[in-house]
Amino acid sequence: MSDNNQDLQRAVVFITNGEDSASVLQILESMGFACEVVADEYQLEIACTAHSPNLIYMHDVSELSITAMASLRQTLIPDTPILFGVEHVNATLRDRITTLGLADYVIKPVQYDELLHRVRTLLSVQSPIAESSSISLENQQTNLLAIYEIGQQLSGTLDQNEIFRLIYKHIAKNMFHSSLMSIATFDAETQMIRCVFAIVDDKEGDLSEFPPMPLGEGPNSDTIRTRQIQIVDLAEMRKKLEKSGRVFRIGDERLPMSAIYIPLIVRNRVIGVLNIQHYDPHAFDDVDKNLLNVVANQAAIALENASLYKRVKQQVQELEALYRSTGFYKIDRDLKDAAIQIAEAVVREFSHIDCGVMIVEDNSGSIIRLGRAGSYQPVTETTLYLDGPGLVPEAIRTGQVVYAPDVSSDPRYIASDSRTKSELVVPLPTYERIIGVLDLQSKQTNAFSQSDIRIIKAFAERAAAVIENVILYNQTINYAAELEDRVKERTKEYREALGLFEAIFNGSSDAVFVLDSQGEIQQANRIACELFQMKSQPKYPQFTTLFDEQNAETIRKVLNDVMALNQPLREEVVALRSDGKTFPADAALYPIFESESNDMLGVVCSLRDITERKRHEARLKAALNRERELNELRARFVTTVSHGFRTPMAR
C-alpha cells in the first residue's frame, strides 16, 4: 500500500498532563512520526541533544516551557518546527510563540484535521525535505479517513460475517489493493487457532479446508505470542507454506509474495489475527503498521461485540424455548395422557422430530414407551431392557445424555426404522434415580445442536417430576381405595395394605404429606421427616409451619381450592426448614376421595426441592440482563468510536 520507503520522522512530545495526550500521540504516529515523550525541560534538552527531531510538540504550555524553547532555539534546534497545544490563546501568547520563529499552535482538545494542517504548514516552510513528508502526510490522511469510514460501518453491525466482509472491502481491497485475506480466532483456554474467514478474489473460501491448529510455529502463532504486527516475506517461506497447505492460489498458480499479520486485541487479550497477503513482495512497510494498529483495534472490538451478542441472543432463545416448552404442564391422573402431553410439548418446540416418553418397569427391567408424538412416528418393535444394548438403556444406566448425530456410524444404535438418521436420548432424573428417558429421533443427520440439548435437559427434569408425581398420585389413590375396602372386611388385610401403601409412600423421592380435610398433617414420609427434621410421632406440626408467613398463606389458599374444586393443583412455594433455612419447592396437592360415596377424605401433598432447577433458570434469566448490558456497551462503543476518530487513542 505504501508509496515510499522513507524513514519515520522523529517528533519530541513534551507532556506533563496526560489529559488528551494519548490522542495526540496516536495522530502523530499515524502521520509517520516516531514519537519520544518527555515530561520536563531537562528531558526535553537531552532528547534534542541526542537526536535531531523533525518536530517538537509542546502539549502543556507555560511561561517556563516557552522560555525553555527560546533557549533551545538559540542552541540545539535553530530550524526545528515547534507546535504548541493551548486551551485558549490571547495576543500576548500569540506574540510569544511567533517570536520563536517556525512555531505555531493548535487549540486543545486537538482535532486531527487541525493538527495535520499545522504540521504540514510548519514542515512545508522548513526545508525541501519536508515536501515529501507533506505528500506522505496527505497519503496518511487519505488512509485515516478510510479507517474512520470503516469504523463507522463496523459500529453499525453485530453480524460477524458482515464485519469480515467490511474489513476485506475497505482494508484489504481499497487500502492495500489486495484480494487475499483471512481472519483467524484464538482460544486461549484450548490454545487453538481457528480460521473463521478466508477470501480470494472476492470468493469466500470453504472453511472446512482450514482445520483448527494448535498454537505453534508460523506467522499466526508468532503474532499471537508477541502481540505485535508481523510483516512476512512469503517468498522465503514458500516451501513451508506449501507443506502446510495455507497458500492462497488463483487460476494462474501465482503465489503471494508478502503478508502482514495483525493481532486483534480486546481488553489486553488476543482474540485472533487478521492476515492480508499480496503478490507484490514489498507491499507492506512500517508506516502500514501504525495505520493497521488503529483498524485492528476497531475490528477486534466489533468482533468481540458480535460474539457477545451472538452468545446472549442464543441464551435468550434458550430461555424463551424453555419457558414455552414447560408451559404445558397440568396434573393429569392418567400416566399415558401425561406422557403424550410431554411428547407433544417437545415436538411443538423442535419441529420435524419424533419424541417418545419411555420409563423402566421396575419388576421386569424392560423399558416401555408410554407416549409418542412427532412428524413421522417411527416403528419400534424391538423390546429394550435396562441391562441390554442400545442408546436408551445406556442413557438410563449412566444417567447421561446419549447422542448419535449419525446413527449409521454409531455401533450402540439398534436399527428400528430406516428413516431415522439421528437420535438423542435424554434421561428423566428424579431425586433418587432415573425413571426413564425422552427419546428424540429425526430424519436428518446432526439434527440437534448443543443449544437444543441444553434446553431438552432442563425440560426433562421438569417432565420427570410430572411423571413421578402422576405415578405417585395413581399409586396413592389405588392403594387408598384398596385400604378402604380392606378396612371394611377385616383389620388384618387393612394392616397389610397399609404396609404396602407406606412402602410406596416412603419410597418417593419427594417429601409427601397426608393431610386431613382441615389441612392437618396426618402422616409424613421418610424424605419429609429428613427434609424438615421431623420425628415420626402421633402429633405432627401444623403443615403451614413448614413455610414462612407469606408462603403459608399461599398454601392455605391452594388447600382451600383443592378441597373446593375437588381437583389436583400445584404451586411453587418457598419451604422453611426447622433450622430456619429456606428452599424453593414444587408443591403438588391431590384430593383423596372415598371410593363409594366419593366424599373427600383429605389431601396428599408432595414437595419437591427444585433448588437446582431454579439456579438453572436464574442463569438463563441472567442472559436477559447481559443483553441489556450489550445494548449499553454498543451505545458506549458507538460514542467511543465517533469520538475516537475525532481524537484517536494511542495504542
Q: What is the DSSP string of 422-458?
A: EEEEEEEE-SSSEEEEEEEEESSTT---HHHHHHHHH
Average pLDDT over all residues of the chain:
78
Measure the CA–CA gap between 428 and 459, rounded to whole angstroms: 9
Residue with C-alpha cell 443483553? 627
pTM for the structure as a whole:
0.39
All three cell numbers of 112: 486531527
Which pLDDT score is estimated for 249?
A: 46
Sign of CA dihedral 546, 550, 552, 558: negative
Cα–Cα distances in angstroms (integers) from residue 456 to residues 208, 325, 366, 367, 439, in the given order: 29, 9, 24, 20, 11
Does residue 127 have a pLDDT over 60?
no
How far out from the chain centre does Cα 459 lie? 21
Give 330-378 pLDDT, tens digit per residue.
555 678 888 888 888 888 877 778 888 888 887 778 888 888 888 776 6
Beta strands in 44-202 (DSSP E): 55-58, 82-86, 103-107, 180-187, 192-200
CATH topology for the 510-609 domain: Beta-Lactamase (3.30.450)
Exposure string of 365-380, with b = 16+ CB inside 10 Å and e = fewer, is eebebbbbbbeeebeb
525 closest CA partner among 496, 547, 504: 504
Helix (H) or strand (E) holding 526: helix 526-531
Strand, helix or coil for residue 251: coil
435 closest CA partner among 401, 399, 382: 399
Say which range, 354-363, 453-462, 484-493, has the weakest mean pLDDT.
484-493
What percentage of the chain reaches a pLDDT higher than 70?
81
Using pLDDT thresholds of 50, 70 and 90, give the confidence band for residue 132: very low
**440 contacts 409 by C-beta, under 8 angstroms:** no
Where are the chain's structural domains? 9-127, 150-311, 329-469, 510-609
Neighbours of 619 (CB within 10 A): 11
* Burial bucket for residue 438 (CB in 10 Å: 0-12, 13-18, 19+): buried
CA atoms within 13 A on the CB side of 189: 0
Residue with C-alpha cell 402429633? 539
427 closest CA partner among 452, 407, 449, 403: 403
Give 23-61 pLDDT, tens digit per residue.
777 778 777 788 888 887 778 877 887 777 888 888 877
Residue with C-alpha cell 430456619? 580
Give 284-325 pLDDT, tens digit per residue.
887 777 777 777 777 778 788 777 777 666 666 555 555 555
Mean pLDDT throughout 80-86?
84
Measure the CA–CA gap between 103 and 122, rounded to whole angstroms: 7
Strand, helix or coil for residue 98: helix
Measure the CA–CA gap between 111 and 109, rounded to whole angstroms: 6
Residue with the larger pLDDT of the pair 65 and 559 = 559
Mean pLDDT throughout 543-564?
88
Residue with the larger pLDDT of the pair 180 and 329 = 180
How wide is the angle at C-alpha 296 spanned by C-alphas 293 and 302, nearest 5°? 145
Strand, helix or coil for residue 477: helix
Residue with the larger pLDDT of the pair 102 and 424 = 424
Does residue 479 have a pLDDT over 60?
yes
Say which range, 351-365, 434-448, 548-562, has the weakest mean pLDDT.
351-365
All three cell numbers of 304: 468481540
Specify the CATH number of the domain 150-311.
3.30.450.40
Mean pLDDT throughout 565-580?
86
All three cell numbers of 528: 419429609
Residue with the larger pLDDT of the pair 240 and 531 = 531
Measure the CA–CA gap between 499 and 479, rounded to whole angstroms: 10
Strands of 422-429's sheet, edge to edge?
384-385, 366-374, 353-360, 434-442, 422-429, 402-404
* Burial bucket for residue 183 (CB in 10 Å: 0-12, 13-18, 19+): buried
CATH topology for the 329-469 domain: Beta-Lactamase (3.30.450)
Distance in Å from the first CA to the final CA of the chain:
21
How far out from the chain centre does Cα 46 lie? 51
Mean pLDDT throughout 60-82?
77
* Superfamily of segment(s) 9-127: Response regulator (3.40.50.2300)
Contacts 24+ apart (CB under 8 A), 236-244: 244/218
Does residue 128 have a pLDDT over 50?
no
Q: What are phi and psi of 28, to 5 degrees?
A: -65, -40
Q: 141 Cβ partners below 8 Å, 6+ apart?
A: 116
Measure the CA–CA gap between 425 and 406, rounded to whole angstroms: 13
**195 contacts 211 by C-beta, under 8 angstroms:** no
Q: What are phi and psi of 262, to 5 degrees?
A: -120, 120
Does residue 152 have a pLDDT over 80?
no
All three cell numbers of 46: 537531552
Residue with the larger pLDDT of the pair 11 and 641 = 11
CATH topology agreement for domains 150-311 and 510-609: yes
Sign of CA dihedral 122, 124, 126, 132: positive
Measure the CA–CA gap between 59 and 69, rounded to whole angstroms: 13
Using pLDDT thresholds of 50, 70 and 90, give the confidence band for residue 650: very low
Does residue 460 have a pLDDT over 60?
yes
**425 contacts 399 by C-beta, under 8 angstroms:** no
Peptide bond into 109 cis (omega under 30): yes
Does residue 537 have a pLDDT over 70?
no
> Can you spell out the DSSP letters for 275-334?
EEEESSTT---HHHHHHHHHHHHHHHHHHHHHHHHHHHHHHHHHHHHHHHHGGG----S-
Using pLDDT thresholds of 50, 70 and 90, give the confidence band for residue 424: very high
CA atoms within 13 A on the CB side of 172: 29
Using pLDDT thresholds of 50, 70 and 90, give the confidence band for residue 133: very low
Mean pLDDT throughout 537-563?
84
Measure the CA–CA gap between 109 and 648, rounded to whole angstroms: 11
